[in-house]
Amino acid sequence: MSEPERQLEPNASSDDEAREALALGEPPRAHLRGALSRWTRSEREERAEALDVHPIVVELMLGRDLEALEAQREFLSPRLRELSRPTQMAGYAEAVELLVDAQQRKLRVGMFGDYDVDGVTTTTILTTFLECLGVEIVAKVASREGGYGFGVDAAKALQESRVDMVLTGDCGTSDHEALAWLEAKGIPSVVIDHHQVPETMPPATALLNPHQDGCGFPFKGLCSAGVGFYLAAGVRSKLAAKSPGSRKSLPDPRAWLDLVALGTVCDMMPLVGDNRILVRHGLEVMDQRRRPGVRELLKRARVDPRTHIDEGHLGFGLGPRLNAPGRLGSAEPSLDLLRARSSAEAEALGARVEMFNERRRDMQQRIVAEAMALLAADPASPRRRGIVVAREAWAPGIVGIAAAGIVERYQRPTLVIGIDPGSGEARGSARTAGGVDVRAALAECRHLLRRFGGHKAAAGVSMPADNIDALKEAFDAACAEQMGEEADREPIDFHDGELALDDIDLRLISHIESLGPFGVGFARPRYLCAGAEVVRIKVLKGSHLALTLKQGKAHRDAIAFRKGNLPIAKGDRVGLLYTPERNSYRGHDRAQLIVERLWRAC
Q: What is the DSSP string of 251-268?
A: PPGGGGHHHHHHHHHHTT
Note whether residue 404 is domain-resident.
yes
Cβ partners under 8 Å of residue 429, min gap 6? 396, 399, 400, 403, 415, 416, 458, 459, 460, 461
Residues 293 and 394 in one domain: no
Q: What is the mean pLDDT of residues 271-293?
A: 97
Q: What is the mean pLDDT of residues 15-40?
A: 64
> What CATH number is associated with residue 389?
3.10.310.30
* Residue 19 in this model has a pLDDT that exceeds 80: no
Note whether residue 364 is domain-resident.
no
Residues 520 and 467 in one domain: no
Determine the 3-state secondary structure of 542 from DSSP. coil
What pLDDT is stored for residue 543 in this prediction? 81
Residues 337 and 460 in one domain: no
> What CATH number is associated with residue 326?
3.90.1640.30
Residues 40 and 163 in one domain: no
Give the C-alpha separation, 165 to 157, whole Å: 13
Residues 503 and 579 in one domain: yes
- Per residue in 351-406, pLDDT tens? 999 999 999 999 999 999 999 999 999 988 888 999 999 999 899 889 988 998 89
Window from 19-23, 157-161, 410-414 with minimum mean pLDDT: 19-23
Note whether residue 426 is domain-resident.
yes
Note whether residue 197 is domain-resident.
yes
Segment holding 120, helix H or strand E: helix 117-132
| Mean of pLDDT over the chain | 91
> Among the residues of 172-313, which ranges form H helices?
176-184, 224-242, 257-266, 273-287, 292-300, 311-312
Under 8 Å between Cβ of 126 and 111: yes
Q: What is the mean pLDDT of residues 93-101?
A: 98
Give the C-alpha separation, 193 to 123, whole Å: 11
Cβ partners under 8 Å of residue 335, min gap 6? 113, 120, 123, 124, 139, 141
- Pairing relationship of beta strands 492-495 and 458-464 according to DSSP bridges: unpaired
* Residue 502 in this model has a pLDDT that exceeds 90: yes
- Per residue in 42-90, pLDDT tens? 999 999 999 999 999 999 999 999 999 999 999 999 999 999 999 999 9
Q: What is the mean pLDDT of residues 507-532?
A: 94
Q: What is the mean pLDDT of residues 255-274?
A: 96
* pLDDT band at 486; cut points 50, 70, 90: low
- Residue where one domain finishes, among candidates 351, 368, 403: 351
* Residue 21 in this model has a pLDDT that exceeds 80: no
Residues 336 and 383 in one domain: no
Q: Which residue has the higher pLDDT, 194 or 245?
A: 194
Residues 117 and 250 in one domain: yes
Residues 239 and 344 in one domain: yes
Distance of CA 66 to the CA centre of its chain: 23
Give the C-alpha separation, 147 to 142, whole Å: 8
Crossing angle of helices 257-266 and 273-287, in 10° steps, is 120
- Per residue in 371-382, pLDDT tens? 999 999 998 888
Give the C-alpha separation, 360 to 156, whole Å: 30
Residues 281 and 319 in one domain: yes
* Residue 193 in this model has a pLDDT that exceeds 70: yes
What pLDDT is stored for residue 487 in this prediction? 58
Under 8 Å between Cβ of 170 and 116: yes
* pLDDT band at 241; cut points 50, 70, 90: very high
What pLDDT is stored for residue 409 in this prediction? 81
Under 8 Å between Cβ of 435 and 411: no
Residues 197 and 251 in one domain: yes
The answer, as to whether pTM is greater than 0.75, is: yes
Note whether residue 328 is domain-resident.
yes
- Residue where one domain finishes, among candidates 489, 507, 527: 489
> What CATH number is associated with residue 580?
2.40.50.460
Determine the 3-state secondary structure of 186 from DSSP. coil
Under 8 Å between Cβ of 417 and 428: yes
Note whether residue 2 is domain-resident.
no
Q: Which residue has the higher pLDDT, 494 or 107?
A: 107
* pLDDT band at 14; cut points 50, 70, 90: very low
Residues 289 and 164 in one domain: yes
Q: Which domain holds residue 426?
A: 378-489
Residues 311 and 399 in one domain: no
Number of structural domains (the chain) is 3
